[in-house]
Amino acid sequence: MKIKYRFLLVFVLVAIITAGVLVAAFSSYQTDIRTDAAETIERDAHTAASVLDDRLTRQQQTVRVAAANPTFAAHGSADQQAVLEALIDESAFTGASVVDSDGEMRAIAGVDGETRESVIGESYTDRPYVQYALDGQTHISDPFVADTGNRIVVISTPITVDGEIVGSLNAALRVDETTLFVPFSDTSDRVGITVASGETTLYSTADRFAESITYTTTLSSTDWTVTMHYDSAAISEQIRRLTAIQLLLSVLLIGTISGFGIWIYLAEIRHTERLHRRIENIEARAYDDDIEFNGASEWRAIGDALDRLSTTLARREQMLLVLNRFLRHNLRNDLNVAVGHAADIKRHAETPEAKQRAETVERVISRTLSTADRVRLTEQLVNPAAIEDQSTELVRLLRERIQQATSEYPELSVTLESPEAAWVRGGETLAFAIDELLGNVATHGGDEPVANLTVTTTAETVSLHIADNGPGIHPEEAAIITGSREITPLQHSSGLGLWLVNWIVRRHDGQLSIPETDSGTTVVLTLPRVDETTN
């Protein structure tokens, strides 16, 4: 995978992970907001219930303390009426009454005279709060609508004389006008409260909320319930603000990551692509491209080094081509002249020694001419455009080259052991390599040269073994040709043929090896195996 695609993949993964973290954080914050709201109303509900319990307890205490006044036991007296009215004036109660032990109304305050006259002497034994008081309990009644039309609750307590219950003191609080719920009037705009007794609502500030989350608790002094409300619209507004902030942070974070990614791409990845293209151009011998490296000093240094390398390779290639053409033209022409003169000298030699020397000169010059012809192949091997990517059926090619070699060298004996077919990567130069190896056997194998060819295959490679009965190659020379040892002034190969064979095999991604043997020489060519369908 190309580095830019890997970079893009990593960038996308980082962006996805970052987005996932942001979404998870946003969900967590939403949950926290709702949890905080739920905890707030739960805490406020218990606080409100505690406050209301405390206020009701104080009102009960007020009634009990008032009932200890002996004047309340003086049924029907003016003093009883007076202390009853004083209780109303000095407390939050809006009405009060005294019922004797028989349940008859004996005094009442907080009503007009006509009402007072109408209820004095009436029986109130059917009133639960009276029954609780006459039974010795201080009691808070359920809310009910009084004869006056007002919704009230009554706190009743027994009136005792010498430990005997002689009546009931009943103090009324108007639910709709009482100061009982004053502490709840300053609640937050987000929070409302509802106080209820059963299905009856006594006080509420939650009617301004279309929707709310709630928490309900019960008072300890009575069965009233306190429900706290948290405005759902306020929660939604908090979430909307959080969403806006989260979106802004997401844009900033993703933007920062994107900017960093673009900077890395421009500063590094594109330089890597330029480096790859520059190397490809060098391989293709396009030394004068206009690819530049800027930015970091390291990239500029790499660009300068590649410029120097391109210049050096261009000069060396030019030198090689000039030398090659010199050998092919100038030197060849001169050597042809020398061969002609050697032939004339041989024809006009007066002594056998002179004739033999002329033949020696002619043979050496002819060998040099042959070497010059081989040098022509190096120009093709230097040119990357000359790489042959087509596949070749090796067994068929071997049979053709064996027939050619035995025709050229009648004394050469060749055997071939191979499968029916073996496809390898190669072309015209591969035929030259086989010809060169068979020619070496014929030239250096003595009077009866023998070449034994064996083709073996694996799943990925095809190997050609050429074994002869010649004198063999010195191990040090073989090591230089195969690259196992460097060339030095004292250690070099004397032949060009094996060098050309090695270069040809390497051009096709193969390998040449010369294993040590007890006799003769064995050369092994290993080439990549290809399918017949790729031909």
Residue identified by tokens 């004394």 is 411
Is the pLDDT assigned to residue 135 strictly greater than 50? yes
Q: How confident is the model at residue 494 (pLDDT cuts 50, 70, 90)?
A: very low
Lowest mean pLDDT among 15-29, 301-315, 362-376, 456-470: 362-376
Most confident among 68-82, 237-251, 370-384, 439-453 (mean pLDDT): 68-82
Strand partners, 230: 191, 213
Tell me, letter by letter, the H, E, C secondary structure of 53-95: HHHHHHHHHHHHHHHCCHHHHCCCCHHHHHHHHHHHHCCCCCE
* DSSP H stretches of helix in 135-230: none
> Could you report the per-residue pLDDT of 24-76, keeping only the tens digit for each?
888 888 888 888 888 988 999 999 999 989 988 999 999 999 999 999 999 98
C-alpha closest to that of 345 among 366, 331, 360, 328: 360
Q: Please report the pLDDT score of residue 167 as a whole number.
A: 94
Residue with more model confidence, 481 or 75: 75
Please answer whether residues 527 and 456 qualify as being in contact, where contact means their C-beta atoms are separated by less than 8 angstroms.
no
Q: With bands split at pLDDT 50, 70 and 90, how would you rate the model's confidence at 491?
A: very low
User: What is the band of 80 on the pLDDT scale with cuts at 50, 70, 90?
Assistant: very high
Q: Is pLDDT of 469 > 80?
A: yes
Higher pLDDT, 381 or 492: 381
Residue 166's Cα: distance from chain center in Å? 85
> Are the C-beta atoms of residues 72 and 86 closer than 8 Å to each other?
no
pLDDT, average across residues 477-489: 57
CA distance 72 to 82: 10
Give yes or no for a contact between 457 and 513, defined as CB atoms under 8 angstroms apart.
no
pTM: 0.50
- So what's the pLDDT on residue 436? 87
| Contacts for 257-262: CB closer than 8 Å, 24+ residues apart | 257/11, 257/14, 257/15, 257/18, 258/15, 261/7, 261/11
Phi, psi values for residue 226, rounded to 5°? -115, 125
- E strand intervals along 205-299: 212-218, 225-231
Mapped onto helix, strand or coil, the DSSP state of residue 21 is helix
The pLDDT of residue 524: 93
pLDDT range class, residue 489, cuts 50, 70, 90: very low
User: What single string gives the DSSP state of each residue in 451-492?
Assistant: EEEEEEE-SSEEEEEEEE-S----HHHHHHHHTSS--BTTB-
Q: At what angle do helices 352-382 and 497-507 cross, to 10 degrees?
A: 10
Least-confidence region, from 29-38, 123-132, 415-424, 482-491: 482-491
Compute the average pLDDT of residues 263-292. 79
Mean pLDDT of the region 139-145 = 88
One-letter amino acid of 222: T
Q: Can you read off the two tokens belonging to residue 121?
A: 């002497």
CA–CA distances in Å: residue 356 to residues 341, 352, 359, 363, 364: 14, 6, 5, 10, 12
Would the pLDDT of 316 be above 80?
no
Please give the pLDDT value at position 455.
95
480-513 burial by CB neighbour count: b if 16+ within 10 A, else e? bbeeeeeeeeeeebeebbbbbbbbbbebbebbbb
Rounded to 5 degrees, what are φ and ψ at 2? Answer: -65, 150
Q: How far apart are CA 498 and CA 494, in angstroms?
A: 10
Please give the pLDDT value at position 156. 95
Q: Supply the pLDDT for residue 385.
A: 52
CB 18 within 8 A of CB 24: no
- Predicted confidence at residue 242, as pLDDT, reads 83
pLDDT at position 481: 65
Mean pLDDT of the chain: 83
- Mean pLDDT confidence for 433-446: 87
Residue with the two structure tokens 């060849």: 332
pLDDT average, residue stretch 459-466: 93
Give the pLDDT mean for 192-215: 87
Burial of residue 221 (number of CB atoms within 10 Å: 0-12, 13-18, 19+): middle
- Of the listed ranges 43-57, 289-303, 491-505, the least confidently predicted one is 491-505
- d(CA 462, CA 161) in angstroms, rounded, equals 127
Placement of tokens 């003191």 in the chain: 169
Q: How confident is the model at residue 116 (pLDDT cuts 50, 70, 90)?
A: confident
Residues 6+ apart with CB under 8 A from 296: 267
Give ∠ CA 237-243-249 in degrees, rounded to 5.
145
Question: From its phi and psi, is residue 318 left (phi > 0), alpha (psi between -120 and 50) or beta?
Answer: alpha
Give the per-residue pLDDT at 383. 59
Return the axis-axis angle of helices 428-444 and 497-507, rounded to nearest 10°.
150
The percent helix, strand, coil of the chain (3-state, each to 5) is 55, 20, 25
